[in-house]
Structures are given as C-alpha cells and as structure tokens.
Amino acid sequence: MSQTVKYFCLGIAAFVALSVPAMAQEEATAAIPAAVGAGIVLLGAGLGIGKIGAAAVESMARQPEVAGDIRGAMIVAAALIEGATFFALIVCMI
C-alpha cells in the first residue's frame, strides 16, 4: 500500500473516532458525520463495482467462450455490493 493511501485511511479513521462525541449531540452538526459516512460508502461501492466490471471485461476478452457465465457472476456480485451499500446508507442516515 502506498503512503498516500495509508495516510488517507488514517485520516478517515481519526475523523470517525473524533466524530463520535459530535453524533451524541442533537444539533444540526450531527448530520455532517452521517453525510461523510454516506459519501465514503458510495465511494467504496463505486470503486468495488468498477473493479468487478474491469476484471469481468478483461476476463471476457481473454476467454470469449465463457462471457455469459462471467457476465452473470459479475451482475450477482454487483447486486450484492449494491445491497450492502443501501444497508450502509440507511445506517448512516439513521
């Protein structure tokens, strides 16, 4: 892992750890951590589905005879990621 990714993950972890007291308050600022969490969830889901799509297209190009099976597996995996994303968004908004 590169140093940039490590520092980014450390910054996200620090933000999440420090936002716990802010979420305990009933103010308008309590919506900010939820919005950031929802953004992180969507970013992760987008990256995951993009990686699945790229790998599927590459494998279809290498073996065109099994393109149908790969396409079906890709759709199932993307649907599972979408389901987890919707669940995480609901948790962030509550």
Domain spans, the chain: 3-93
More confident residue, 19 or 69: 69
State the residue for tokens 């933000």. Answer: 15
Claim: this prediction has a pTM higher than 0.85 = no
Please give the average per-residue pLDDT across 78-92, as a whole number.
85
For residue range 24-83, list pLDDT tens digits in order. Answer: 556 656 677 777 888 888 888 888 888 999 999 999 999 989 988 989 999 999 898 888
**Residue 57, pLDDT score:** 92
**Residue 4, pLDDT score:** 80
H-only helix segments in the chain: 3-18, 20-24, 31-62, 67-93
Q: How far is the C-alpha of 82 from the C-alpha of 88, rounded, in Å?
A: 10
| CATH code for the part of the protein at 3-93 | 1.20.20.10
